[in-house]
Amino acid sequence: MSFFYLAAVKGDMPVHLLETVVIKRLEYIKAIIANEELSYNEYVVEGSVYDVVGHYTLCIVAILEGREEFTQFIIKGEDSLFRRRLKALSAYDLRSFVKKLLRVIRKLHTEVYFLEPLRTLCQHLMLRDMA
């Protein structure tokens, strides 16, 4: 249950494997957007190294590519994947994620505009789940 990409992975990966990870993720995102039947894809297994590497690599590619259409495609696909995974969460998984997110927020040294509302939402979710 670590599909929220709170931290990038570290390490080495051969270029040919990175290419495969990104292509398979693009195919999966395309299938999600087209509402096609999804088959097992080892490169987007929730929380796997391939999943995280594929997510961050596509974000970097979207930034470097600079084409609005491609960027919107990636955002829509990642959003759809996120929503799909979020719907499958149990109450326990959601509470665990909220606790992890609160720990990450506490470690941040910079204050950005969305942190306080996010902190409030997380605290609300934790209290609601306990009630």
pLDDT at 25 over 50: yes
Task: Pull the structure tokens for residue 75.
Answer: 């955002």
Report residue 9: phi and psi, to 5°: -80, 160
The residue ranking higher by pLDDT, 1 or 108, is: 108
pLDDT digits (tens, 9 = 90+) for 36-92: 988 888 888 887 889 989 999 999 999 999 899 999 999 999 999 988 888 888 888
In this predicted structure, which of 47-51, 94-98, 110-114 has the lowest mean pLDDT? Answer: 110-114
**pTM attached to this predicted model:** 0.74
Neighbours of 97 (CB within 10 A): 19
